[in-house]
Amino acid sequence: EGVQPQEYTVIKMELVAPFPDKFKVLEGKKVFLAAATLRPETMYGQTNAWVLPDGKYGAFEINDSEVFILAHRAALNLAYQNHSRVPEKPSCLLELTGRDLIGLPLKSPLSFSEVIYALPMLSILMDKGTGIVTSVPSDAPDDYMALHDLKAKPAFREKYGIKDEWVMPIEIVPIIEIPQFGNKCAETVCLQMKIKSQNDKEKLAEAKKQTYLKGFTEGTMIVGEYAGRKVQEAKPLIRTKLLETGQAIVYSE
């Protein structure tokens, strides 16, 4: 990674009880998939979470009552940023893989869906952010294509034991209007560039650049508390609110 530290907003996606057997040691705690994002203003459009099936994760005590599921490396960084029950030391209650997380029902801040599910994305890097990504297919080309692959390929769903009901009802939620790109800019750009799947790395990198810049400089919020305001104005306001209400934390690496 670069020399400049990256500051993420980590969104607390709460695991809905009752927990599966493997997670019983966590009962009585508030357990979250901790997703690192650079776009907190897009959280209205969350449709699911992404995990790497073969990725190694852990359930870490952040304080006396809260547990975050994320990559070990991120837990160590968080411990040095005042987010561990034991100062400067990660406290892991349970070792997990991405496969253990697939299908977990979650409640995530600002999402219009009451419950969303953790699903597999193969392009997740375990050495970036927390290794958990929240999915906003309206505005993130990676998310759009990963969802597209799951919907279009029954064999892919079967391989990871994914129930149709976790995927097929998902609808893309328009949240930001961008001139010339419409209100589902990730879809617009992926179609324009004829991107075939989530493995189309080079094209996706280009699509990300285009949408990221456009969204920030020319986008207008069309939902939520700041509907009608520019993304540039709404972003810090939404971020501050998520932090102040305890629905997110700051994480740097």
The residues of the shown chain that bind ligand A2H, judged by CB under 6 A, are: 6, 36-39, 42, 124-125, 128-129, 131, 133-136, 139-140, 143, 208, 212
Q: For ligand A2H, which is the closer residue by CB, 59 or 175?
A: 175
Residue 39 CB, nearest approach to ligand A2H (Å): 4
Residue 144 CB, nearest approach to ligand A2H (Å): 9
Q: For ligand A2H, which is the closer residue by CB, 4 or 18?
A: 4
CA 123, 124, 127, 129 dihedral sign is positive
Residue 9 CB, nearest approach to ligand A2H (Å): 9
Residue 204 CB, nearest approach to ligand A2H (Å): 10
Residue 37 CB, nearest approach to ligand A2H (Å): 4
Q: Which two tokens stand for residue 170?
A: 């998902």
Residue 91 CB, nearest approach to ligand A2H (Å): 22
> Using CB atoms, what's the residue nearest to ligand A2H?
129
Q: Which residues contact 158 (CB under 8 A, 6 or more apart)?
A: none
Q: For ligand A2H, which is the closer residue by CB, 139 or 149?
A: 139
DSSP of 101-150, one letter per residue?
HTT-EEE-TT-SSS-EEEEE-TT--TTSTTS-EEE-TTT-HHHHHHHHHH
Q: For ligand A2H, which is the closer residue by CB, 112 or 212?
A: 212
The length of the chain, given as a count of residues: 253
CA dist., res. 106 & res. 116, Å (int): 5
CA dist., res. 146 & res. 207, Å (int): 14
Ramachandran bin of 110, using left for φ above 0, alpha for ψ from -120 to 50, beta for the remaining angles:
left
Q: For ligand A2H, which is the closer residue by CB, 90 or 131?
A: 131
Residue 41 CB, nearest approach to ligand A2H (Å): 9
Q: For ligand A2H, which is the closer residue by CB, 29 or 41?
A: 41
CA dist., res. 122 & res. 125, Å (int): 9
- Please list the helix, strand and coil fractions of the chain in percent, rounded to the nearest 5, in that order: 35, 25, 40
Q: For ligand A2H, which is the closer residue by CB, 5 or 169?
A: 5
